[in-house]
Structure 1
Amino acid sequence: MMTNVGIIGCGMMGKVHSIAYGGLQNITVRAVASLSREQAEECARITSSRTSTIEEILADDEIEIVSICTPTDTHRDLVVEAARNKKHVFCEKPISRTLSDALEMVEVCRENGVLLGVNHVVRFFDAYTEAKRLIEEDAIGEVVMARLYRGGVFPRHGWNNWFDEFSRSGGVLLDLSIHDFDFLRTLMGEVESITARSVKTTPSHPSRNRDHAIAVLRFANGSLAHVEGSWAEPDTAPSKFTTSFEFVGREGMITYDSDEDFTMRVQTVSREFPSFSKSTPASDPYRLHISKFIEAIREGRKVPVDGDEAIEALKISLAANRSAESGRPVKLLEVV
């Protein structure tokens, strides 16, 4: 059974989606649309499709799924219109810039009988899935603390420099660290409160947005996590983007650093789970997530990361921004 797809937004993430769809069987990208003619033509070439307009994609009855790869503040309008045109939607993260927009997106998709998936893709990266598997198998005992880092150079690739506008991107805590907030929820449960600080540190570009932040999350089970996100790495940095994590349990710890040959290390006192180090494979997490999203549509079941889950991650980011602005801890219950 062939499934037809339309891609809206052909910047960096639109290109990533184009490549991911190209490796899937029984999937045809029928059309792509972008404000940039050059970027649209590149994605059309990658997918062997045609350039089109947003309106034409949404009106095309043969297109069943729409990928939304546009700036965060445009997600609400595009997702709502796609749902009203009876398209299933695979939307880039964050789900939206505001909670009210996200709630409306979920409700409109539900009313129109279409599925909404949000690309919290870190859940599908090999190192993170392996760490989650080991923790769920009790390899290091109960996790009591965690430390995660995600950062790189400032994302200048954004259309009209939209990452630099806080009102559009939400800054580093909402656009970038939300990846780690979402993943932590899958491991450590619900967040109770968050304390955050953010600063502007990059001298190499005229940023108005705060580009480096830390957040300390307190979970309902009493555990803690320290999350650091940065767009402030210098342009001369050897790695333009790096990630790392450390999970500390009562019987061991798991560490990973993408700068160290993607090596994961497990140290444990358990006889069932001896300590080891290994490199994690480099599969395509975007293709894996998209394929599982499409499988869920075909089989009529819940998508891997739906709008409700994306809203919970958004709430953490919004609470982090509120804490960074106010200088006080913020409870998740305050984000309504």
Structure 2
Amino acid sequence: MNKQKINIVDMTLRDGSHAVSHSFSPEQVEKVAGGLDKVGVSIIEVSHGDGIAGSSVNYGFSKYPEMDLIKSANKVVKNAKLGVLLIPGIGTIQDLEEAHRNGASVVRVATHVTEADVGIQHIEHAKKIGMTAVGFLMMSHMGSPEKILEQAKIFESAGADYINLADSAGYLTPDGVKERVSILKENLSLPVGFHSHNNLGLAVANSIAAVESGATYIDATCRGLGAGAGNTQNEVLCAVLNRMGYDTGVDFYGLMDVAEEIVEPIMQRPQVINTPSLMLGYAGVYSSFLLHTYKAAERFNLNPRDILVELGKRKMVGGQEDMIIDVAYSLSQQNK
């Protein structure tokens, strides 16, 4: 191993929550987090799929209080850092403080790719209370490399420890990833991370493109569990990085065992690229919209593909899940 260290950020218990309708139990969280901690991932993220305080009518209710889930993870996480996601407008500084009291030491403050300014106070407060703070730019395909750099500098000035780009729709190709990561590496003093969805089957390839462009934090989930067609599959990612000579610090065999023996039995369905998931990537729609779109399509007797295309045309972003019903209703009226 003679290449840079790549930090694996495992989000099975956060983005993976979308794929199980936010039903992780404290016991399941303890098993998954304990297994991930033992195999050497760098950060283990635990919260509602839409971040702390996401449990709601708009985003789906959690079966168990997420602070109980964070406490359960904190019992067994001894080596990794325990993290949470916070989307300003959903989670508050008070929610962040509660997560910190319950053991979270990392917060990733997630905003739309053009709206980093709404996360400044959250980054600053996280640093004030001693947390690692990450500026997380969602739907990065909707921002030019220059716009992304502008927004990343806002997070950098607020005190962020690293910048994470999120291909929330699974829309980017490797060239698009390289353009966006490279401009940050060339112009920031901070490390860069990358988050991918597999809606076009490119999650691992895009993650490798990010690494080759200088990213040192890569998001992944066991079995690829996540919104839409899922995220970068952690076991596959680590296999490829190992083959390429990168140091992940992860016990590869142990990670495969966690995925197969602990995570897979929890999954409600195989994580595959079906037609609606493919349409998310094709239309550039936020991946957590998928299950909401299914429900709206059934309610209004519509083809979910039509809803997803219309959402893409309207450039809907994370946090606008309530608009899916409006779009579906509008389409149903047009069909009369």
Q: TM-score, normalised by structure 2?
A: 0.28
Q: Under a length normalisation based on structure 1, what TM-score does the superposition of the two structures give? A: 0.28
Which structure has the larger Rg? 1
Higher helix proportion, which one?
Answer: 2
